[in-house]
Structure formats: C-alpha cells, structure tokens
Structure 1
C-alpha cells in the first residue's frame, strides 16, 4: 500500500531549548492522537530511526495521528559505558548510534526533554482538530528512554492539573534509575543472549546518571518507578521478554495497579529490547495493533 501520509515538521521552544515535532496525520483519523518519544539511551536517536518514523507511520495507517518529538538529547559522555552490541538485521546497534544519529545538535540533561514533552502535549491538544483528532484524546507514548519521558510527563501533567493525557503507552520502558533485579526466569533467558544484546547494570547506571546530569535519581519525573502514581493516566505497558529492562516495566505495572490506575500489561514473547526498530517484525506489528486498540478503547470509540 502506498504511503500517502502528508508529514510535516513544526518548530517549538521549551525549557530554553529549541526542538521539533514531526506530525503524521492519519489518512482516516479515528480521533486519537499520540505524542510519541523515540528511545536511544537518552543520548541518541532521531526522527528518522524506525522506532520513531516507522512506528508513527504504522499507527497513522491505523487511524491515530502521531506527533513524534525530536527532543533535546543528553550528552554522549556515557557512550563508553555501552557494551559492544551484536548487529541485528534491520536494527541500529546502540554503540553505533553516535555515528548515525543526533551527533551535531545541542544537548542538555534532565529536565529539558521532560519539559519539552509537556510542551508537545499542550501543542497537540491545541492543534488536534487540524488533523482530525480530538483534544481530549491526546495520549503520551514512547519506547525505552522515550517510555521514561512519557511516564514522567504524565506525572507532571497530573500534578499541574487541568487537561490530562488520554493514556500513556510505554514500550520496553526504563522507569528506575537502578533496575530491579531479574527473576530466575528472566535470568535464564538473558543467559542465552549474546552479551552484545544485553544491558549490564553498570551500563544502565551510567546511562541514567548521564541523563540526570546531577539531578537526584529519586526525582519522580525523572524516574517514576517506585513513587506514588495515583491519579496518573491509564497505561498500556509492553515489555520485551528478553530484556534487562523488563523488571522495570513490571514493577511499574505494580505501582500503577496499587495506585488504582488502569493498566494493561503485555510481555512480548520472544522479543528483545528495541524491537520497534526491526521494520516488518511481527512483534512491531502486534504492538501497533495493541496501541491502536488501546487508544480507541480509552477514547470510548468502537474497536473493529
């Protein structure tokens, strides 16, 4: 099927930094809008990577207008902490991202990107009708580091009051500054993976500290896991079965449930971290279907 989406870019400013939105208007809009944040260890990634562009196109084809955010990245000082990742067909390796994504751009640590997500949400609500969307059907979502940004912004909006996100969609997110320990089942799965497809604890700690830039790891909007999340937007959380970050996602499911927040959890069997970057993968297609259905349900619309 030919891609007929009329994509356009918008320049914004927040937290004393310029950033960009890329709007993917649904050809047949169902009213839902998703503000979407790519991953990349807070240091890497851009609007061209599959996790941003292909994900947005898949959701726009399903009826959701997507506003992909080119947020300000943190410094690359922690890149040396990344292991030598094994190549996976169709997926950019994290230790190669410095050479391919976002190397010539202004950078800043937390809370700049977090505040930009809130600004993007406000812009999306203001302009939703231009793309066939509904102001009250604007959700936040992201993958990996982007999932962290979406969750943190959802809590900022909760505490600000006023308009709230329709939902939050968190795909293999990192929600804790120090990851919860994997259980025996996950430990056994991880042991079968090549070392280059894993996130050892020391690497995750370095990545997260780099993002914080001196801020406290207990800052609720930086790493929401383990905090009081009562009143947060309803959530869809999708984790990868073979992923060191899965315990973070699962612990946050518990946080939300204990806080009385509606939450739907999926453990994507057989998937590794970053599977949205694998163009054409069944896991990516299933996730797009789940996100589309979830947003429609939250918006009170009929699901085919």
Structure 2
C-alpha cells in the first residue's frame, strides 16, 4: 500500500538532507528532522515508573532503565534498541516509548539496555556480551515474579537479542519464553527486495534507505570485517533450532525487510513457532514514532499480546 499518509505529507522535509549524522550538526536540517518526527499527538509516560541503574557485565557496569507498571508485573522483558550497532540510547523512542508502552500494555517489568555501541574501537562480541549479562541479571536478580520473561529488540537490537538467545541455548542457560523482534537486521549479505517492493521504496529520500554499501559498512563497523563472520554476529546464518516462540514485526517500506522475512521462514522450517505482523505503509524504524500513529499502536499491541501470553 502507499506510504502512511501522515508520513507522506512530511516526507518532503527530508529532501536534500545529508546523512543522519551530518543533518544533526546543521541547525536548519535538524529543525526539519524534528518536524518530520513530530507525531499527530503527544506522548506521556503515564503511570509507569522508570528507574535508571547499572547492572554488572564483563566489560564494566551496564546502564539500564527499568520500567514498572502500576500494578504487580505479570511478565518481564529485556529490550534492546536499534541504531545500526553504532547508535541509539535509552532516550530514543524505540527504547523509551516502546519500553513504557509494553510495560503498560502487557503489565510487564521491562528492562531497556544501554549496551556498548560499536564505536571507538569497540566491536562484536562486546554488545552481545552486554545483552547477555543484562539478561542473566534480569532472570537471576531483577525479575522475581513467576510469569514469563521475554527478550527482544529492534533492527540491530533484534540481532543482539537473537544472538543472546543462541548463546543462552548453547550454554544451557535460561532461555527466554519468547523473542520479540522488530524489523530485524540479522543477515549479511542481506537478501534483496523483490522488484515491485524496490519500486515502492523509490518514494523514500536517500537518508531513509539502506544501500548495499551502507549495509556493508554497518557490518564492518560492528564486527571489524565482512568476511568469516561468526554465526552469532549476524545470527540469521546460525542454527535456529530450539529457540522460543518468536514474534516478528516487519516494516513495508524497508530495504532490510527481506532479512526479517527470511528469518521467519527459517524459524518455521526449524520448528520454532513464529508469528509475524506486517506493518503496511511504514518505513524501517517505525517504532521511533509514537503510538498515535495507528501502525505503531498495532505493532506494540502485537508485541504486548505475545509477551503476556
């Protein structure tokens, strides 16, 4: 279907802008970015409590933000934001808004992880080590309830969640009861879009696209190379048997969508229960918008239902 009407009306604001990093250094470009990312209605934390703390990890303390619903939590979730392995933080909507919304909707204790980014010489497996350590803290210390505990993330964070689940399986440690993966980026090379989808994505400005060159650069920055990749660095190449039931949200206007679609087929082929939600008209990273956009609301509802099941 066409690009979401609300976004289509604003897409002109990104015309001619440089890449994300350069745009954020230009006041006029930054003003256009802010206007583009302004949603139809505002968003508030509501009656969810948020607490910042650190948990221990092999590379030092790991900052996390813990979200507690107003009532007694019935389940738990460890959540990992996206950002191409090199960006993102606890303040971005894909971390803060998603965590708070899932805490409310699923009556969940949600722990959002500020894992170490692939920058300044940091590479794989450090981000996975942080995610793994945060999961062990959650399941051994942070979650004292009797309900299910899920593990999830968005884009690169979905890759880290899947890598962590594979490590837990290999080490016979506590597996999550569910995996929640938003527009996962888990394969390299990344499968290509079909011709019709590729034509549809032509409406997006260059800064919202993933080219083969930019994908290769993300992987090289994360792992340090693009050859001989460890199977749990880009975990779509790993043996996926024995993983828990998985929910995958796919964005229609997304060069990386074929990675999520292939992952769903791989999981199904290996006997892992998998459900997908296809978010029509939405670009990659649409959980960085608020739930006043209908497709963001429906994506969050899909995850909340799976988490609390």
User: Which residue matches 2:157?
Assistant: 146
Deviation at 1:156, TM superposition (A): 0.7
**2 CA distance for matches of 1:7 and 1:230?**
35
Asked whether the 8 Å contact 1:228–1:255 carries over to 2, the reply is no
Structure 1 vs Structure 2 CA RMSD:
1.8
Structure 1's 18 and 30: CA in aligned 2 closer, same or farther, altered over 3 A?
Answer: closer
Matched residues in 1 for 2:204 and 2:45: separation?
Answer: 37
Cross-structure match for 2:83: 40
3-state DSSP of counterpart to 2:65 = strand
Does residue 212 (structure 1) correspond to residue 212 (structure 2)? The answer is no
Matched, 1:198 2:204: no
Whether the aligned pair in 2 keeps the contact of 1:59 and 1:292 (CA below 8 Å) is yes
Q: Is the 8 A contact 1:27 1:60 kept in 2?
A: no
**Residue 129 (structure 1) shift:** 4.4
Matched-pair contact (CA < 8 Å) for 2:76–2:143: no
Offset of residue 216 of structure 1: 5.2
Q: 1:267 aligns with which of 270, 278, 295?
A: 278
Task: Provide the residue aligned with 2:130 in structure 1.
Answer: 116
Query: Counterparts of 2:129 and 2:52 in 1: how far apart (Å)?
Result: 19
1:254 aligns with 2:265: yes
How far off its partner does 1:2 sit?
A: 6.9
**SS state at 2:216 partner:** helix
- Residues paired across the two proteins, number: 264
Give the secondary-structure state (helix, strand or coil) at the position aligned to 2:48. coil
1:94-105 alignment runs, 5 A limit: none
The residue aligned with 1:91 is none
Distance 2:137 2:109 in 1: 13
SS of equivalent residue, structure 2 residue 174: coil
Helix, strand or coil at the partner of 2:236: coil
- TM-score, scaled to structure 1: 0.82
Whole-Å Cα distance in 2 between the matches of residues 249 and 217 of structure 1?
Answer: 22
CA contact (8 A) 1:177 1:217 kept: no
2:296 to 264, 281, 284: 284
In the other structure, the counterpart of 1:5 is 48
The answer for the alignment partner of 1:59 in structure 2 is 102
Deviation at 1:51, TM superposition (A): 0.6
Contact (CA 8 Å) 1:121, 1:138: kept in 2 or not?
Answer: no
TM-score of the superposition, structure 2-length normalised?
Answer: 0.81
Change (3 A) 1:216 1:117: farther
Once residues 216 and 128 of structure 1 are traced to their aligned partners in structure 2, the CA distance between those partners, rounded to angstroms, is: 38
Q: 1:22 aligns with which of 59, 65, 73?
A: 65
* 1:215 shift after superposition: 7.8
- Match for residue 148 of structure 2? 137
Residue 157 of structure 1 corresponds to which residue in structure 2? 168
Spell out the pairing of 1:168-179 with structure 2 (5 A cutoff): 168-179=179-190
SS in 2 for 1:42: coil
- Change over 3 Å in CA distance of 1:177–1:47 after alignment to 2: same
Contact 2:45 / 2:100 at 8 angstroms: preserved in 1? no
The answer to whether the aligner puts 1:125 opposite 2:136 as a matched pair is no
The whole-number CA distance in structure 1 between the counterparts of 2:179 and 2:288 is 20
Taking the aligned partners of 2:72 and 2:101, their CA distance within structure 1 comes to 13
Greater shift, 183-192 or 288-297, is seen at 183-192
SS state at 1:141 partner: strand
CA contact (8 A) 1:229 1:255 kept: yes
